[in-house]
A = this chain, B = another copy of it.
Amino acid sequence: MNERLARVALSRLGEPGDPRLSSLVADLGAEQVCACLGEERGVAGMATEVAERLRGLDPVSDLERAAAQGIRFLVPGDAEWPAGLGDLDRAGPLNGRGGAPLGLWVRGAGRLAGTCARSVAIVGSRSATTYGVAVAGELGAHLAGAGVSVVSGAAFGIDQAAHRGALAARGPTVAVLACGVDRAYPAAHRDLLGYIAETGLIVSEVPPGCAPTRLRFLSRNRLIAAMSLGTVVVEAAVRSGALNTASWASLVNRTVMGVPGPVTSAPSEGVHELIRSRDAALVTRGSDVLELVSPAGSFTQPTPRAPERRRDRLTEVEQRVLDALPVVRPAPASSVARTAGLATGTVEQVLHGLVRRRFVARTTAGWLLEPDGPVAAGGRPDGAVASGGGRRPE
């Protein structure tokens, strides 16, 4: 049995993310571990029935059956093996799970290492809100459009929206499953998984045919985190699996990001806790994510600003006069001059110019801000945007 076949056998024999098994394999190699287990030496407390089960396995047929279904098996050293997975061997275990996968069962048209080289995981609640789904979809599309692969778990809610967003932008996307890559879990996502496989990849460390279990979901989460440059949590209640993925991302030193939401929404509670505790950076859009996962200085975005206002183009003296003008009760030029700390003559000259440009109104009682002018209407004296509305300026 060679190293690859030994890894096929071990991947069927053990549970994924068993840190004892993966550290044995890292130390001795899979061939040696198989040999030891086959001789029933009781290595590291494995149950003695293991040897018998090992003898019953047929990794050669396993690989042939998989190949017939369009499934390949990757091991470390393969060109397609994602480099980031090695970090799992150096990161401590979490909830009893850990270590690099023994191998990856892969289905789909993409090439895994290349696809993961610039990739971001988007994860979140299955019970997502329409808000979360919209944000995840837009993030997925933005990242995919920028050539960044979207990694997720093909679950309901946020995962689905992230994959769909990437597919809509015709970008690469990777679904990492807790069951065999020949299976569809949830079953309703059979078509989604089919689309993903057409251009992207379906990946799992459990062999074809295997069912998902809670343990396998927890193990799967570490792969999502380690295969990507950063993990974005879109919505996650306080006890969501997405927070487990975020913890894994921290453990392997990936960028952890969170999209905030209304504080009245339970599915945002876990994300807010991540940001509050400084475990995650707050991101609000695709460009925030790109900035955080790109090499320092290679991607920067301008600080969000409101569009320039007409008053921004006034001279400093004109602005001082405007600042000194009353909003409600008109005032004489001498009073405006006093407030502005300028000579009355200067102020009168400036005021006439500002009346022509409709910043200022003149009444019999004196001067005041033009009620419909660019300052009174567009920029209130309290420094706020008076209109505003609920939409982000594009």
Contact = CB atoms under 8 A, between A and B. Distances in A.
A250 interface: no
Interface residues of A, number: 83
A52 to B, nearest CB: 11
Interface string A126-137: 110101001100
Contact of A239 (B218, B237, B305): B305
B266 A259 contact: no
A328 B266 contact: no
Contact of A131 (B126, B262, B268, B326): B262
A21 to B, nearest CB: 10
A54 to B, nearest CB: 12
Chain copies in complex: 2
A49 B212 CA distance: 84
Contacts of A211: 326-329, 331
14 contacts: A49-B338, A125-B384, A127-B387, A127-B389, A187-B328, A214-B381, A217-B381, A238-B306, A241-B383, A263-B284, A269-B392, A273-B303, A275-B282, A276-B282
Interface of A: 15, 47, 49, 53, 125-127, 129, 131, 134-135, 153, 155, 178, 185, 187, 211-218, 237-242, 244, 259-269, 272-273, 275-276, 281-285, 288, 303-306, 322-329, 331, 338-339, 341, 343, 380-393
